[in-house]
Copies of this chain bind each other. A is one copy, B any other.
Amino acid sequence: MEQAILEGVMQLLEDGVPLAELSIERIARTAGVGKATIYRRWSGKEELFVDVLRAAEPPDPELPGTSMRDDLIVILESLRQRGLVSRSSAILHNVYVQMKSSPRIWAAYHAGVVAPRRVLMLDVLRRGQRDGELRPDIDLDLANDMFVGAMLVRTVMRPDADLPEGLAEQIVDITLAGLRPVSSTVL
């Protein structure tokens, strides 16, 4: 049932219906269910919509937990995968763009998807700092933005940029090692 509803919304989006015109009524009609069925599961269009996106995006990865570096590479690789999907799927790309001009849907997506990912990332960094993989004096919030920043610039802001295999590992290792020439890394 839930699956049919999510697919119904995806179908409407594929048919080119703008986000703003997707009403619960129309979704119910497309999925062949009553409005009450939808409202039993979701409190509103925003929440339903976040689940549609979640179903369309690659699932969040399992972290290996073997080291901070390994976990960070898996997280950045999943950002890269989402970037690739968003590039290959015109619908998904279009939905992201529309979502950003709808403050309520953006807020729901942020609370339901983006914020939990950030919490997970900060956990990984906290463990890494505890285990001596991360400078002890570094602010975790800033460390987070530095690890994910380069990948997000490429996936979100520069839709024409390369997303080659191995990019996640490269970004993590360069961020850990720094960009100074080796001869001057003495601090």
Contact = CB atoms under 8 A, between A and B. Distances in A.
Contact of A178 (B154, B171, B176): B176
A133 B179 CA distance: 8
Contact of A179 (B134, B162, B181, B184): B134
Contacts of A90: none
A179 B143 contact: yes
Nearest to A183: B132
B134 A146 contact: no
Nearest to A149: B149
Report the contact-size class of chain A (Cβ under 8 Å from the partner). Answer: 35 or more
A66 interface: no
A145 B160 CA distance: 13
Interface stretch (A26-34, A35-43, A93-101): A93-101
Contact of A153 (B135, B148, B179): B148
Given A175-B178, A175-B179, A176-B178, 18 more contacts: A133-B180, A135-B179, A136-B181, A142-B174, A143-B179, A145-B149, A145-B158, A146-B171, A146-B179, A149-B151, A149-B153, A152-B152, A175-B175, A176-B179, A176-B180, A177-B180, A177-B187, A185-B185
